[in-house]
Amino acid sequence: MKKKIAYMFLLMILMCSLTGCFLWSINREISIFLGISIPGNLEIEYEDTHGGFHGDGITLARAQLEGKDAEKILKEIKDNDNWKSLPLPKNIELVMYGGEKDSMMYESDLAEKLDMPKIQNGYWIFIDRYNNEKRVTDGEELFPRYSANYTVGIYDAESNILYYCKYDS
C-alpha cells in the first residue's frame, strides 16, 4: 500500500513538472520573439499547428495581463524601439484581419482565431523571418513572396491583452 502511495505521489510530481515546463516554453518563446519579459507563471491561451511539412504552421497566443505584470509589460513595450503605436500598417492589417489592397482581396482569420477586435489604443511589432532572417519591419515586403514566415505581437493597452501570432508557410 505504501508503495502505491509513493508511486502515485511521484506520478503527480512528474505531471506537475511537465505542465510547468510546457507553460514555461510558450512564455519563453513569446519573450524571445517579442523582446519583452513574459512572466513564467502567466497563463497563456495558445494553439500551435506547427509540425507539418518543413515546420509549417501557426502559433496563436493570447494573454490577459493584470496589475504589476500589465504595468511592467507596458513599460517594456514603450521603452523598446521595435514596438510601434497603433494603427497597424496596411500589410500587417491584411495578414491579421484580411481586406482589400490594390483591387485584390486578402482573406485572413488570424485575428478572429485570436478573438482579437480591431484595437485602437496599443502597440505592435512585426518580425519578418523570411529566409531565416529576423528583421523588424512594417511588413512592406510580405506580398510578392511565395511563402511567409513572420511573427506579430499586438498589445491592447486598454484591456491589457497581449496577442501573439507566429506564421510559417
C-alpha 91: how far from its chain's center?
18
Please report the pLDDT score of residue 54 as a whole number.
Answer: 73
Other Cβ atoms less than 10 A from the Cβ of 142: the count is 19
C-alpha distances (whole Å) from 104 to each of 90, 91, 100, 143, 148 are: 13, 12, 5, 11, 18
For residue 112, pLDDT over 70 is answered with: yes
Instruction: Return the closest-CA partner of residue 137 out of 151, 124, 126, 145.
Output: 126
C-alpha distances (whole Å) from 2 to each of 6, 14, 79 are: 6, 18, 56
For residue 2, pLDDT over 70 is answered with: no
Please report the pLDDT score of residue 21 as a whole number.
Answer: 47
Query: 101 has which bridge partners?
Result: 104
- Per the structure block, which three cell numbers stand in for 130? 523570411
Query: 153 has which bridge partners?
Result: 125, 164
Please report the pLDDT score of residue 104 as a whole number.
Answer: 82
Radius of gyration of the chain (CA): 19
12: confidence class by pLDDT, cuts 50, 70, 90: low
Tens of pLDDT, residue by residue over 35-62, are 999 988 899 999 998 876 777 899 999 9
C-alpha distances (whole Å) from 120 to each of 77, 87, 123, 139 are: 16, 7, 9, 19
Q: What is the mean pLDDT of the chain?
A: 86
The model's pTM: 0.82
Torsion sign, CA atoms 164, 65, 117, 46 = positive
Cα gap 115→38, rounded to integer Å = 20
